[in-house]
A and B are shown apart, each in its own frame.
Chain A
Amino acid sequence: MSRFKKIFATDSYIVPLVAIVMGFLVGAIVMLVGGYDPIAAYSALFKRVFGSPYDFGEAIREMTPLMFTGLAVAFAFRSGMFNIGADGQVLIGMTAASVVGIKFAGTLPSFVLVPLAVIMAGVCGGLWAGIAGYLKAKRGINEVITTIMLNWIALFLSNYIVRTFLLLSGQNRSEDIPASLSMTFLNSVFDNARLHWGTAIALAAAVFFYVYLWKTKQGYEMRAVGLNPHAAEYAGMNVGRNVIKAMFISGVFAGLAGAGEVLGVFHYQSVFAASPGYGFDGIAVALLGLTHPLGVVLAAILYGTLTYGSAGMSFGADVPPELIRIVIGSIIFFIAAQGIVRWVLKPFYFKRKKEKVL
C-alpha cells in the first residue's frame, strides 16, 4: 500500500498526464490545420466508446490484447531487451490455442480443454520468444534482428498449420473452434459485445508482472540484469539464464493475447496475408505505460479507447481516423522527451514553491 501511495505522492504521474493533454492539443492543432472541428471530433470519439453498452464492451475487447502485448514488451524492456517479436509470439499463441481447441475438442471436457488451450498458447508463445532469448544469451545475437525474423517465420508457420490441418474447406480460415473463452453472462449485458476471460487473465498477468519483478529474488535479478548486465554478472548472477527466462515470460504474455483473440473473440483463426500488428501496438502501449504494469494497464485502456473511438471520429466529424495515431505518437513523444513537458510545467512549479514559502 505504501508503494501505491508513493506512486501518487511523487510527481511521476504529472508528466504523463500533461503529456496526454499536450498530445490531444497537437491532435487538435492538426485537425484545425486540416479544416476540421476538433471539439466535434473528440466528442464523437468518446461518444463512440461510451455511447452504447455494445461499443463499451467492444472497446474493452480492443484493450485486452493491447494489455498482453504491452506487458510482453514492457517485461522484456525491464530485463534489458527490446522484443519487437510480440507479433510473432501472438500468432504462435493463436495457432497453439486453435490446434488444441479444435483437435482435442471431442476428447476432452471443456473445463479441461479451455485451460489447456490457453496454457499451450502461453507456453508456445514463450518458447517462440525464448528462441530469441537463447540466441542472445548463448551467441550474443541481437534480439532485434532475431525477433523480426521470427515474426515472419511465425506468420508463415501459422498460416501453414492453419491451411494444412485446420482449414475450413473453401475458406481462408480455420474451422470453428469449439473451445471458448467468451463470458456468456456478460455478453448479453453488453448487447453481444465479444467480452472474454482474456481480459481477466490480462489483469492477472499485470499483477503477476508486478509481484514477480518487485517482490521476488528472481525478479530482482532480472531487473538488475536489465539495468546493468555487467554489474549483475559481477555480482554473481547468471545473465544468460535471466535473459532467456525474461524472453520466455514476455512471450507467454504475448501468446496469451493470441489465445484471447481466437478463443474469445473470433472463434476461428484466419490465414493472415500480412502480420496483424499486435506487437507494434504493444510497443506503443509499453512505452506509454512507462514499462510499469499499472502504467501498461492504464495505457492499454487509453490506447484502446482512442483506437476504438477513432472510427467514430470519421462518422461523427468526418476526420480521418489516422489522426489518432498522431495523438498517440505525440503523447509518447512528450513522455519520452520529458524535458519539453518539464519546460512547459516550469512556471507552475515555480509558483507552487513560492506559495509554500509564504
Chain B
Amino acid sequence: MEVLGQLLNTTLVFSTALIFAALGGIFSERSGIVNIGLEGLMMFGAFAAAVGGYYAQDAGMGAWAPWIGVLCAMAVGVLGALIHAVASITFKADQTISGTVINFLAAGSTLYVVKLIFEGAGETPLLDGFNKVPIPGLSKIPVIGEGIFNSYPTTYLAMILVVVIYFILFKTPFGLRLRAVGEHPSAADTLGVNVKRMRYIGVMLSGMLAGIGGATITLTTTGTFSHNTISGQGFIAIAAMIFGKWNPLGAFGAAVFFGLSQAIRNYVQLFEWSKNIPQEFIFMIPYVLTIIVLVSAVGRSSAPKALGEPYDPSKR
C-alpha cells in the first residue's frame, strides 16, 4: 500500500510539467495556432527558473527563491512565445516551421547564456528548489494522502489550473471567443472579435504555461538546467494535448498517464516477477498503450478547425 502511495506521488511529480505544458498547448491550438514549440518554451522556462532561482537564492530570498524562478520562467516563456506569435500571426509564417524555430532558438540560446554566465560550464549550479508541502489533515488519508496531498506546490497549482482553465475555456466569454477564433476566425471577426489579438493572447499564454512547466522540472526534479533537462517532454506534452482532445481535463488524464510511465520505471524493478521481462518492454508499455488506446477508443482526433491556417481578413 505504501508503494502505491509513493508511485502515485512520483507519477504526479513527473506529470506536473506535462500538465502545465499541455494546458499551454491547448490555449495556443484552441486559438488556431499550432504549437510544436512547446519543447523549446519548456526549455526557456527551465533555464529561466534555474538562473532566476539561483540569483534569488544567492540574494538570500530563501523559500521565496523558487517562486522568483517560476516568475522568471513565465516571463521568458512569454517572450519566447512572442517570437512564434509574431512570425505565425503577423507575418503568416507556416506555424509548424515557426514552432520548430522556437525549439532551435531555445536549445541554442539557453545553453549559450548558461555558458556565458557560469564561465563555460554547461550546467547551472544546483538549486534548493521546492520542498514538498503536506496539506494538514488530508495528507493523513491512506494512499491518497501520501500520493496526492504531500506534493510540491507546483503540483497543487497544476491541478487547480486544470479546473480553472477548463472553466475559462468553456464557461467564460473569453474562452468562447478564443475557441471561436480557432474554429472559424472569419465568423468570429464578423461578430467583432479581434482575431489577431485573441491569437496573440493564446500563444503567449501557452508560452507562460509551458515556461512554468519547464520551471517545475528544474525546481522539483533535476535542480539544475543542462542540455538534457527537457529531452522530449515538450513533445510528450503535445501528445498529451492531442490525446486529451484539446480539453484540459483530457490533457490532464493523458499527462498523468505519461507521468505514470516515467514513474513505473522506478517501481517495477522492486517486484520479483519483473526480472523475467526485459526492462525495455516495461519502458515501452505506455507508448504502445497510447497507440492502442488511440486506435480502439478515441478515434478521429478533433483538432480545432482553423488550426494551422493563418487568418487573412481579405478572404472573408
Contact = CB atoms under 8 A, between A and B. Distances in A.
B23 interface: no
B228 A320 contact: no
Interface stretch (A143-151, A230-238, A262-270): A143-151
Q: Give the secondary structure class of B's interface.
A: helix
26 contacts: A34-B112, A82-B96, A142-B301, A148-B232, A150-B291, A156-B281, A157-B280, A159-B280, A163-B278, A274-B232, A280-B103, A322-B111, A322-B112, A323-B108, A325-B105, A326-B109, A329-B102, A329-B104, A329-B105, A332-B100, A332-B104, A333-B93, A333-B98, A333-B105, A336-B101, A339-B90
Contacts of A146: 291, 294
Given A142-B301, A332-B101, A337 B278 contact: no
Given A275-B232, A320-B116, A322-B112, A332 B278 contact: no
Interface in A1-57: 30, 34-35
Interface in B90-120: 90-94, 96-98, 100-105, 107-109, 111-112, 115-116, 120
A145 B239 contact: yes
A124 interface: no
B156 interface: no
Contact of B100 (A150, A163, A283, A340): A283
Contacts of B100: 283-284, 287, 332
Given A135-B291, A156-B284, A337-B87, A328 B116 contact: no
B98 A149 contact: no
Interface string A132-173: 000100011110111011101100110110011000000000
B278 A274 contact: no
Contact of A141 (B87, B90, B98, B301): B301
A89 interface: no
A145 B115 contact: no
A216 interface: no
B166 interface: no
Contacts of B281: 156, 160
- Mostly, the A contact residues are helix
A156 B282 CA distance: 9
Given A146-B294, A148-B238, A336 B93 contact: yes
Contacts of A332: 97, 100-101, 104
B108 A140 contact: no
B290 interface: yes
Interface in B27-59: 36
Given A142-B301, A326-B105, A152 B295 contact: no
A287 to B, nearest CB: 5
A327 B101 CA distance: 10
A2 to B, nearest CB: 28
A84 interface: yes
Interface string B213-242: 000000000000000100110011011001
A330 interface: yes
The 4 closest A-B pairs by CB, nearest first: A325-B108, A329-B104, A160-B280, A336-B93
A146 B301 CA distance: 12
B283 interface: yes
Interface of A: 30, 34-35, 82, 84, 135, 139-142, 144-146, 148-150, 152-153, 156-157, 159-160, 163-164, 274-275, 280, 283-284, 287, 320, 322-330, 332-333, 335-340
A150 B231 CA distance: 16
Nearest to B96: A82
Nearest to B288: A153
A284 B120 CA distance: 27
A129 to B, nearest CB: 14
Given A274-B231, A326-B105, A336 B284 contact: no
A313 to B, nearest CB: 11
A339 B88 CA distance: 11
A284 B99 CA distance: 11
A148 B288 contact: no
A140 B91 CA distance: 31
A133 B115 CA distance: 42
Contacts of A275: 231-232
Contacts of A327: 108
B228 A141 contact: no
Interface in B277-316: 278, 280-281, 283-284, 287-288, 290-291, 294-295, 298-301, 303
Contacts of A274: 228, 231-232
A157 B282 CA distance: 11
B86 to A, nearest CB: 8
A247 to B, nearest CB: 15
B83 interface: yes
B283 A148 contact: no
B108 A324 contact: yes
A326 B80 CA distance: 13
A325 B110 CA distance: 10
Given A145-B238, A156-B284, A157-B284, A340 B112 contact: no
Contacts of A284: 100, 104
B104 to A, nearest CB: 3
Given A280-B103, A322-B107, A336 B112 contact: no
Interface string B241-285: 011000000000000000000000000000000000010110110
A84 B228 CA distance: 19
A164 B278 CA distance: 9
Contacts of A135: 291, 294-295
B294 A141 contact: yes
Nearest to B236: A148
